[in-house]
Structure 1
């Protein structure tokens, strides 16, 4: 433990009572640091809390300048009613909550920002710390005993895990776009390693505790955002777990992941799970799975679009957050009165339309099999012609295209693919992509959470990982066990069920649906608008940073032979689409 001198101090600023760098001592002696924003005077209030690795003192406008500028240009409301001096990446603005009768507590996670210790991202140790911080906050004189959790991405994913430990003072959570199963949603998609970690982890090193004078400065206090000490790079490396190496060493869903997979039966706190249709590759599945499987009696699902962070800050998102917490942290029943269990921003080619629903998947769904035909067609009519088509792991694969739709058709819900395939080499990686083409034959792609040009939906499967969890699987949502490999004999025809992450789109009449079956990541081939691209930190080629290009993961020669897709009456390769009839 290295407290140094006491960095904690309190001041009145911007109409708030702010206490900087509060020390929180964990059970093993490691000291975490927190910043507290609260009303200047008055009774104890509920606390909105966050715990994460992005450094609580790092300004959104500086660290993520392009994203901030693009967001406020489209939604200028975000800059009104606040000085925005306390905006932090993927965290709420205290100036919008303290006047509303809340305190905001930001905790740097272990080994990040101003918090000491060995940094072990997405770990059981972080969950234990988070629980301790919640219980500490709930017992302070400035808290009325009610703690709520709020934040995006990392600040959301860890909410599921800590909620399952059932802290006494935790009364409500809003996980805004946060994964709930690290193996299936972050590290391995369908058993294929996602290299998001490889691009994301280096971006977190400048926020590790010990970067000190090398880190950005807090815009208010002038302190380094990554701690009061400056350590050399070798010592910094020794103070963080090599998560990438750990994940690569555990390609199956073994005990290594068991402590960071949410126990949904233990999640009983009221929750508002907020997802993003464009979150292909991270978070979308987690929010929807957690909503459906959590044991909470008071649970709500909201699904929107646009970028990963945008609606968290807009008036639309802020209104949802305030009304939910007013109900479950303050007991204001009227604030959440008549709120539907499910609120969908249904996607159209020209925007979104809000619609209330009662359940997920929607009870009126017409589950419809769209078949992949030997002539390259894609339709609800069962193909009578037997055929085989082959593709390699490096080419563009196979694309099946529908006739122009005769009427508008809504697809909203989870999807799945049933494919009959054989591999010449004994294994294969399958990428299933649902796409849209306009009447002129141009592909229509959508603004996604982390990419400006996403297709309608995507799914992934390594053929040797095709074993299903029969207890959890449904026809519309196959769940894979990932506990062992089931290789095939060269040329052996097997049935593979592919989970395709949920989606929503009203397909206009005259447009065509298409399904691509590939051996590598989808890539958008249309013209890219630089202004649209500027909203994101990664190249907009259709998948953002959620790529599957680890050469070690693909080194097995069994993955590099041609793959044959079989279609026809005996091999009904198809996609199950959630067609929603008009009300």
Structure 2
């Protein structure tokens, strides 16, 4: 039996903790109640959305957890609502102090300023009879304990908060978890415990496996973005340092990281899942979350917008309100007639054109997985295997090679792709591989995906994506070759999943087969355009100062017994 330490984890995990960021000098603490009248505008933070009803703001309400720790939450009520109300919980360590400016490219007229970062908009949901719950989780602000990152401890804390909220006199006993990014990630873990009073979840772009999707995608430690996030936390105690934990144990998967991989199959609650079709951070985890969760009542949207623009778009809020009203207010509306899977197909290179499609499942029905074999002779790809074995090399640290084919007919690329490569390391016993599938025009010029956005916000939207959310020029993937072992239980014919539990180094002259998953995407290809596949020893997306294991030369083998190929999801256009 494992001994659990005071931080909530088995002692043998030896979790790294460091002091959390200091509370701001002007930080205020203590219960306080404020009534904001209808029409209030928080212009001091640049917001332009007036409150459509009177709301009551209660600050620093204490909530006890099962281990005796006390966390503090803020509540925002519709002031004059007479009936018991459902609640939306925005669970994240980003702090609950309000007001805040609109994030990124969100038009200020869509944002009231009373919104916890990436959470539900009170100006909209309070007006429709919902209570907004903004917690400072364990270790954040003045909440007790040490800050934890996902996994069992945060899941238990969320369970306790859900049940506390449902027991309040103003509650109708139904709650939903809501929000984007971290607010979505934590939903997978908390919902897997199936709290009795959790009625629905709305994870908006949330990865579901902290190791595979964020801190070590492809088995390559990559903690830069997480270090940026960790630097934003503040409180009075310590924080779990996952950016350092990924470097422990040689960065391999273990029990600690398995705890931070959500058990999707245990989730049964109704779900409204949003998948980011533009950026890279959350796409795979959100799509896999939807595919693997056991909820019989689940819906998914794959969008073509930057996540914040999509989240606070009035059309999106109205759509999710129908879902929440059905499950949290038991309102007789037509929500269940909504198609289970809705896809915004990115018409890359054709500004202003929008394509939306509806399906019954994910991956979508009608998908044909087509193999395109690499041919070194003319740097091409074809459905026909090359009849001769060949190879191509590039400098391991900065080099790359590309293969191209022309599109014979219009089709939609929707879903999961993968690269299957036969590779060899020259002058090294390991390789870090980076791959990318792009859409190009008829002349071979790459067509960068653009988010659907208001014309006067398009450049601002792109600036935010490129600076923070890393819009990808296509469907990308990566793999440290020594960690190529596949997880036979989690892998499928269309998405390889690796165990990352052991190292298998390469011998001189050894050629090995590797499978690399590609980020799920939804692109429209037209006849005469081109598909380009690139493989290299550096992050083709320009991810930042990523440290690789590369040196020497990489060789890619093609043809006969070493027939390297990419597999793409082809969906006919009807």
Indicate the TM-score class for this superposition, using the shorter chain for normalisation.
Answer: 0.7 to 0.9
Distance in 2 between the 1:387 and 1:582 partners? Answer: 36
Distance in 2 between the 1:388 and 1:300 partners? Answer: 45
How big is the shift at 1:153? 0.3
What SS is found at the alignment partner of 1:369? strand
Structure 2 residue corresponding to 1:96, chosen from 105, 116, 124? 124
Match of 2:298 in 1: 299
Q: Do the aligned residues in 2 keep the contact of 1:59 with 1:89 (CA within 8 Å)?
A: no
Distance in 2 between the 1:492 and 1:21 partners? Answer: 61
Distance in 1 between the 2:520 and 2:197 partners? Answer: 33
How big is the shift at 1:202? 5.0
Distance in 1 between the 2:119 and 2:534 partners? Answer: 37
How big is the shift at 1:279? 3.1
Q: Does residue 568 of structure 2 align to residue 568 of structure 1?
A: no
Moved more, 151-160 or 438-447: 438-447
Distance in 2 between the 1:33 and 1:302 partners? Answer: 33
Match of 2:88 in 1: 48
Distance in 2 between the 1:28 and 1:452 partners? Answer: 39
What SS is found at the alignment partner of 1:52? coil
Correspondence list, 1:403-414, <5 A: 403=406, 405-414=407-416
What SS is found at the alignment partner of 2:120? coil
Match of 1:272 in 2: 272
Distance in 2 between the 1:560 and 1:296 partners? Answer: 46
TM-score w.r.t. the length of structure 2 is 0.85
Moved more, 93-102 or 242-251: 242-251
What SS is found at the alignment partner of 1:337? helix
Distance in 1 between the 2:391 and 2:423 partners? Answer: 9
**Closer, same or farther: CA 171–198 of 1 in aligned 2, 3 Å:** closer
What SS is found at the alignment partner of 2:157? helix
How big is the shift at 1:563? 1.4
Distance in 2 between the 1:307 and 1:113 partners? Answer: 29
Correspondence list, 1:427-442, <5 A: 427-442=430-445
Match of 1:225 in 2: none
What SS is found at the alignment partner of 1:549? coil
How big is the shift at 1:283? 1.3
What SS is found at the alignment partner of 2:140? coil
What SS is found at the alignment partner of 2:90? strand
**Closer, same or farther: CA 494–107 of 1 in aligned 2, 3 Å:** same
Match of 2:404 in 1: 401
Match of 2:110 in 1: 78
How big is the shift at 1:105? 0.7
Moved more, 93-102 or 332-341: 332-341
What SS is found at the alignment partner of 1:141? coil
Structure 1 residue corresponding to 2:391, chosen from 365, 376, 388? 388
Q: Do the aligned residues in 2 keep the contact of 1:50 with 1:149 (CA within 8 Å)?
A: yes
**Closer, same or farther: CA 5–309 of 1 in aligned 2, 3 Å:** closer
Match of 1:151 in 2: 179
Q: Do the aligned residues in 1 keep the contact of 2:279 with 2:472 (CA within 8 Å)?
A: no
Correspondence list, 1:66-215, <5 A: 67=104, 70-72=105-107, 78-79=110-111, 84-197=112-225, 199-205=227-233, 208-210=234-236
How big is the shift at 1:10? 2.4
Distance in 2 between the 1:198 and 1:100 partners? Answer: 35
What SS is found at the alignment partner of 1:204? coil
Distance in 2 between the 1:48 and 1:5 partners? Answer: 24
Correspondence list, 1:308-387, <5 A: 308-349=307-348, 350=350, 351-374=353-376, 375-387=378-390
Q: Does residue 447 of structure 2 align to residue 444 of structure 1?
A: yes
How many matched pairs?
A: 510
Distance in 1 between the 2:195 and 2:241 partners? Answer: 29
What SS is found at the alignment partner of 1:98? helix
Q: Does residue 469 of structure 2 align to residue 458 of structure 1?
A: no
Distance in 1 between the 2:74 and 2:232 partners? Answer: 20
**Closer, same or farther: CA 476–10 of 1 in aligned 2, 3 Å:** same
Distance in 2 between the 1:396 and 1:520 partners? Answer: 7
Structure 1 residue corresponding to 2:60, chosen from 3, 15, 21? 21
How big is the shift at 1:54? 0.9
**Closer, same or farther: CA 464–343 of 1 in aligned 2, 3 Å:** same
How big is the shift at 1:59? 4.1
How big is the shift at 1:257? 1.3
Match of 1:244 in 2: 243
Distance in 1 between the 2:262 and 2:471 partners? Answer: 31
Q: Does residue 471 of structure 2 align to residue 469 of structure 1?
A: no
Distance in 1 between the 2:65 and 2:76 partners? Answer: 22
Q: Do the aligned residues in 2 keep the contact of 1:134 with 1:167 (CA within 8 Å)?
A: yes
Distance in 1 between the 2:423 and 2:28 partners? Answer: 65
Q: Do the aligned residues in 2 keep the contact of 1:432 with 1:460 (CA within 8 Å)?
A: yes
Q: Does residue 524 of structure 2 align to residue 506 of structure 1?
A: yes
How big is the shift at 1:379? 2.6
How big is the shift at 1:388? 0.4
What SS is found at the alignment partner of 2:339? coil
List runs of 5+ in structure 1 lacking aligned partners: 211-235, 524-540
How big is the shift at 1:246? 1.4
How big is the shift at 1:363? 2.1
Distance in 2 between the 1:254 and 1:160 partners? Answer: 20
Q: Do the aligned residues in 1 keep the contact of 2:96 with 2:135 (CA within 8 Å)?
A: yes
Q: Do the aligned residues in 2 keep the contact of 1:77 with 1:315 (CA within 8 Å)?
A: no
**Closer, same or farther: CA 480–6 of 1 in aligned 2, 3 Å:** closer
RMSD: 2.1
Match of 2:45 in 1: none
**Closer, same or farther: CA 202–184 of 1 in aligned 2, 3 Å:** closer
What SS is found at the alignment partner of 2:214? helix
How big is the shift at 1:77? 5.9
Q: Do the aligned residues in 2 keep the contact of 1:192 with 1:548 (CA within 8 Å)?
A: no
What SS is found at the alignment partner of 1:407? coil
Distance in 1 between the 2:274 and 2:385 partners? Answer: 37
**Closer, same or farther: CA 394–168 of 1 in aligned 2, 3 Å:** same
